[in-house]
Amino acid sequence: MSDALLLLAATGLPFIGAIVAGMLPTHARNTAAWLAGAIAIIGLGLVWAAYPTVAAGGVIRHSMAWMPSLGLDLTLRMDGFAWLFAGLVFGVGALVVLYARYYMSADDPVPRFFAFLLAFMGSMTGVVLSGNLIQLAFFWELTSLFSFLLIGYWHHTAAARDGARMALTITATGGLCLFAGVLLLGHIAGSYNLDVVLASGDKIREHALYLPALVLILMGALTKSAQFPFHFWLPHAMAAPTPVSAYLHSATLVKAGVFLMARLWPVLAGTEAWFWIVGSAGLATLLVGAYVAIFQNDLKGLLAYSTISHLGLITLLLGLNSELAMVAAIFHILNHAAFKASLFMAAGIIDHETGTRDLRRLSGLNRFMPFTTRLAMVAAAAMAGVPLMNGFISKEMFFAETLTAQASLPLLLHILPFAAMVASAFAVAYSLRFIHGAFFGPDPVDLPHLPHEPPAWMRLPVEILALACIIIGLLPAATVGPYLNMAAHAALGAATPEYSLAVWHGFNTPLVMSLLALAAGVTLYFLLQPLFRRNIEGPPFISRLEGRRMFERSMVFLSWRLARTLEGLLGTRRLQPQLRLVVCVAILAAGWAVYRRGLGPGNLVPQGIDPVLALIWVIGAACALGAAWQAKFHRLAALILLGGTGLVTCVTFVWFSAPDLALTQLLVEIVTTILLLLGLRWLPKRLPSTGTSEVMRTGRRLRDLAIAITAGLGMAGLAFGVMTRFPPEILAQHFLERAYTEGGGTNVVNVILVDFRGFDTLGEIAVLGVVALTAYALLRRFRPAPDSVDVPEQQRDQSAYDIARPERREGDTVADWLLIPSVIARLLFPVVGMVALFLLLRGHDLPGGGFAAGLMGSIAMILQYMLGGTQWVEARLRVLPLRWMGLGLLLAAGTGLGALLFGRPFLTTYFAYADLPLIGEIPTASALLFDIGVFALVIGATMLTLIALARQSVRGHRAAAPRVSATSAPAVPGPILGGAPTTAPTGAPTAATGDD
């Protein structure tokens, strides 16, 4: 098998499995377990297949180009160290899957559990196999995310939700720090490639940015490995199902932190800063964790704190700046994974078979589950460091290291061995409490279930792990020796020291320390018995120092109090001040730029003033001012004036050689006006303001007027400055030269849109589609305000007229309204449609194109709606705007994809001319197909919005019908613009009053 395939499969398979498991039906417990188990075993097989290469000191690599311009590759890389961790992830993973199959209840959605577990497994593999720092940080955050999902698996309990949230907040924050840290590290080393980084240790340690990078990376590692003072999330993560705890807190999640520290050890360690930060964090965690663990009443809580303590031990070893300590750390990572996973599983078995994990209720289980008792005893002995167990050997190494550690502060060196012994004695005490408390003593009373042995398959993983503890303890060199050696060489390189893995090193100081600690631990446990019997909650002396409470307080402060205060000080929920601020900042920014660069006279002489254009713009300016003046009380007038300004803009485009723009502007103008007219119907009647004082309002208006005038003058100045400068040519020349020769069209603007910048246009029509769908969705749930529900006054008058005359039916007048224009419009329908088609076909060579044609087509249809009425049109013409939109998008994207079939990049166009009978020669570039897509989408999007708005009249009338006349049939909807829009019913209850 090729290296690339092996690495990709090892990282990718768990994620694929996660997706498959996630799609299984909720009760497919066995299928999901088989799937997860198979993937873990395959993963283990893949890791094993890599062993020959890795054992020979080789490194398996596979790189994929990611952002080559930035020198970034996605790299998967497996050396001996990563191999060991990958084996741990898959090996313990397989055991946990087997255990979880029996632990998880059939009532839980088990496939979801395995989906999360597999995804987590993949993320963890990604972390250990990353050959690129940024990639590592990415997978790191993924582990945080999936551990969040796993811890919160039983999301119906508050404890699970809180624990998951806390774990995510802390580990993900650490992950962000780590990301910043690796960016710095990559910057120092000049590459994010792990091989390069590992080779530039001296350069990194001497760099000025070493300390910030170190602190940031350690923030990531220490939070992940639950080191003091970030340790408190781990006990709360015990709300997770026990298999999750067994996996996350023995072999994987928390080990990611120590993995990272060990991975970067050759680069970052060896300095005073490393010793002080890592060493003191490890020492504090070791002691605090062990001390608190003794006083836990929950089995899993005890194990959680013992995990914290053992991680502290590993961290302390890494912090000692000694190669031998590093080897001991790697060894202890392995040992801890073995005994802690089996202990968690044993705790889970107890919980599963008795219904409680409370040490105050449990006792004497030995008589009910003797096998489990033996297994737990073996694992607990390993945890306590009893001789002939695996934990003993790594602990001996730890003691030896504390005796020979080097540091600049001698006092600490004297304390270190004693601290190690004290922690070790605590470990003996809590291990004893676990075993003695749960399995021995009088028979349990009042347990939720009668305890019995678990299913044999559920016990198998514990048996395997306990066996491993014994065999490694008895024959360390023969069992894990080669693997440990390989990992140490991979992590340390040539600096790997000589060491001996043996049970018996003679009667030396570490052995004495071990024996002393053992005796002290046993004594301590029996001395503490009265204290345990008093049902204490939490450890003496420091029970008030609870990390969780501080965390919650700071969370409340940050996310609530501080946020509220800042919002009160700096923010506003009112739109007007926000917009005022935006405009002012824009004015200041433009003013600043002008002030810095100057806006002197340009290099072009202004052309003479044409009186016709001047007159046109006098009208345009008057329209704009009028619209601004009237927009409050006379909306229809403002709308008409706005149209006037639009027409002037349109004429300006024609004047200055832009027929395409003029055409599109004209059509957009028409559609926009119709759209706004349709909206006017639903706005409230505006009455002059009565509330606020005149002085205040005048003040506000004067201020806004000043802002508006400043903006206008500034914009005029800028525009004049720009126009009197010679325009940049390069782009224009480029497109002018290539439009015909390469795009096959003479209308350069159209060729740019559908060919050169076709991708932008594709995005633009997608935006149009999204807008139309949003409008449609919003209007589906539209409820008009109470005062706009009634049928407009004119229609009511007309209906009253009909009702008063016996020969007329209600609605006749409305139906006849604007009869002659509507007949003309019907006759015009095919003509306007032809114009649309004409615009579409000529677009590539002459002004026109998909946008203009689409708008023209919509106008043809909306004209019928306006004059014939919604129901009249819909009885005769089915527009199906959604189909048009779908067709348009598919056609445009499909044309682009079609280029791929011919081996060209996306959206490459082909062009030729076709000679059609009657019509003549038309350009048949594939861009035409694209343009037809644009056309279809524009028709669809415009019609969808317009029809959705138009139908509101029908719906609104329907809602109002009972109120208008209770006896009459549903009111006949007239032409949708039948009622003069600005006349809302007089005396409406909530007519808003005007104010500024």
Partner 1 sequence: MELILALGIGVLTGSGVWLLLRPRTFQVIIGLSLLSYAVNLFIFSTGGLRTGAAPVLERGMAGSLASHADPVPQALVLTAIVISFATTALFLVLLLAARGLTGTDHVDGKEKSR
- Of 848-867, binders to partner 1 (CB under 8 A) are 851
When binding is defined by CB under 8 A, the residue of 708, 834, 959, 980 that contacts partner 1 is 708
Taking the C-alpha atoms of residue 253 and residue 250, their distance in angstroms, rounded to an integer, is 8
In the complex, the smallest distance separating the C-beta of residue 723 from partner 1, rounded to whole angstroms, is 4
For residue 980, state whether it binds partner 1 (rule: CB under 8 A).
no
Q: Would you call 760 exposed, middle or buried from its count of C-beta atoms within 10 A (0-12, 13-18, 19+)?
A: exposed
Residue 496 per-residue DSSP state: P
For residue 529, state whether it binds partner 1 (rule: CB under 8 A).
no
Amino acid identity of residue 218, one-letter, is: L
Stretch of 21-29, 108-116, 145-153, 603-611 lying at the interface with partner 1 (CB under 8 A): 603-611
For residue 784, state whether it binds partner 1 (rule: CB under 8 A).
yes
- For 931-943, letters b (16+ CB in 10 Å) and e give bbbbbbbbbbbbb
Are 992 and 690 in contact by the 8 Å Cβ rule? The answer is: no
**Residue closer to partner 1, measured from CB, 117 or 938:** 938
Strand-pair partners of 920: 916
Amino acid identity of residue 887, one-letter, is: L
Amino acid identity of residue 581, one-letter, is: L
Are 919 and 878 in contact by the 8 Å Cβ rule? The answer is: no
**Residue closer to partner 1, measured from CB, 965 or 983:** 983
Cis peptide before 229 (omega within 30 of 0): yes
Tokens of 112: 């979801």
Amino acid identity of residue 4, one-letter, is: A
Nearest to 606 by CA among 523, 725, 506: 725
**Residue closer to partner 1, measured from CB, 471 or 680:** 680
When binding is defined by CB under 8 A, the residue of 36, 127, 254, 772 that contacts partner 1 is 772
In the complex, the smallest distance separating the C-beta of residue 650 from partner 1, rounded to whole angstroms, is 10
When binding is defined by CB under 8 A, the residue of 211, 542, 585, 723 that contacts partner 1 is 723
**Residue closer to partner 1, measured from CB, 20 or 670:** 670
Are 437 and 365 in contact by the 8 Å Cβ rule? The answer is: no
**Residue closer to partner 1, measured from CB, 31 or 652:** 652
Compose the 807-846 pattern: x for residues touching partner 1 by CB under 8 A, - for all others: --------------------------------------xx
**Residue closer to partner 1, measured from CB, 6 or 938:** 938
Terminal Cα distance for the chain, rounded: 75
> Which residue reads 């003091």 in tokens?
228
For residue 889, state whether it binds partner 1 (rule: CB under 8 A).
no
**Residue closer to partner 1, measured from CB, 105 or 693:** 693
Segment 672-691, which members bind partner 1 (CB under 8 A)? 672, 675-676, 679-680, 682-684, 686, 691
Helices (H), 130-157: 133-151
For residue 490, state whether it binds partner 1 (rule: CB under 8 A).
no
In the complex, the smallest distance separating the C-beta of residue 70 from partner 1, rounded to whole angstroms, is 30
For residue 705, state whether it binds partner 1 (rule: CB under 8 A).
yes
- Cα Dmax for the chain: 122
For residue 454, state whether it binds partner 1 (rule: CB under 8 A).
no
Q: What are phi and psi of 368, to 5 degrees?
A: -100, -35
For residue 914, state whether it binds partner 1 (rule: CB under 8 A).
no
For residue 159, state whether it binds partner 1 (rule: CB under 8 A).
no
Are 245 and 344 in contact by the 8 Å Cβ rule? The answer is: yes
Give 911-922 as a DSSP string: --EEEETTTEEE
Segment 608-647, which members bind partner 1 (CB under 8 A)? 608-610, 613-614, 617, 620-621, 624-625, 627-628, 631-632, 635, 638-639, 642, 645-646
When binding is defined by CB under 8 A, the residue of 67, 556, 778, 834 that contacts partner 1 is 778
When binding is defined by CB under 8 A, the residue of 418, 526, 595, 782 that contacts partner 1 is 782
**Residue closer to partner 1, measured from CB, 60 or 674:** 674
Residue 950 per-residue DSSP state: H
Segment 556-575, which members bind partner 1 (CB under 8 A)? 573-575
**Residue closer to partner 1, measured from CB, 568 or 727:** 727
Segment 923-962, which members bind partner 1 (CB under 8 A)? 938, 941, 945, 948-949, 952
In the complex, the smallest distance separating the C-beta of residue 796 from partner 1, rounded to whole angstroms, is 21
Segment 650-669, which members bind partner 1 (CB under 8 A)? 652-653, 655-661, 664-665, 668
Are 926 and 887 in contact by the 8 Å Cβ rule? The answer is: no
**Residue closer to partner 1, measured from CB, 71 or 606:** 606
**Residue closer to partner 1, measured from CB, 78 or 666:** 666
In the complex, the smallest distance separating the C-beta of residue 671 from partner 1, rounded to whole angstroms, is 7
Three-state helix/strand/coil letters over 89-158: HHHHHHHHHHHHHHHCCCCCCHHHHHHHHHHHHHHHHHHHHECEHHHHHHHHHHHHHHHHHHHCCCCCCH
**Residue closer to partner 1, measured from CB, 534 or 783:** 783
For residue 601, state whether it binds partner 1 (rule: CB under 8 A).
no
When binding is defined by CB under 8 A, the residue of 108, 195, 704, 874 that contacts partner 1 is 704
Taking the C-alpha atoms of residue 486 and residue 498, their distance in angstroms, rounded to an integer, is 13
When binding is defined by CB under 8 A, the residue of 272, 443, 737, 816 that contacts partner 1 is 737
For residue 985, state whether it binds partner 1 (rule: CB under 8 A).
no
For residue 785, state whether it binds partner 1 (rule: CB under 8 A).
yes
Nearest to 453 by CA among 388, 375, 544: 375
Three-state helix/strand/coil letters over 370-401: HHHHHHHHHHHHHHHCCCCCHHHHHHHHHHHH
When binding is defined by CB under 8 A, the residue of 23, 550, 767, 916 that contacts partner 1 is 767
Nearest to 347 by CA among 309, 395, 386, 297: 297
Tokens of 681: 């119907």
Give 444-494 as a DSSP string: P-S-SS---PPPHHHHHHHHHHHHHHHHHHH-HHHHTHHHHHHHHHHHHGG
> Residues 248, 251, 256, CA angle at the centre, nearest 5°?
80
Residues in binding contact with partner 1, number by CB under 8 A: 127
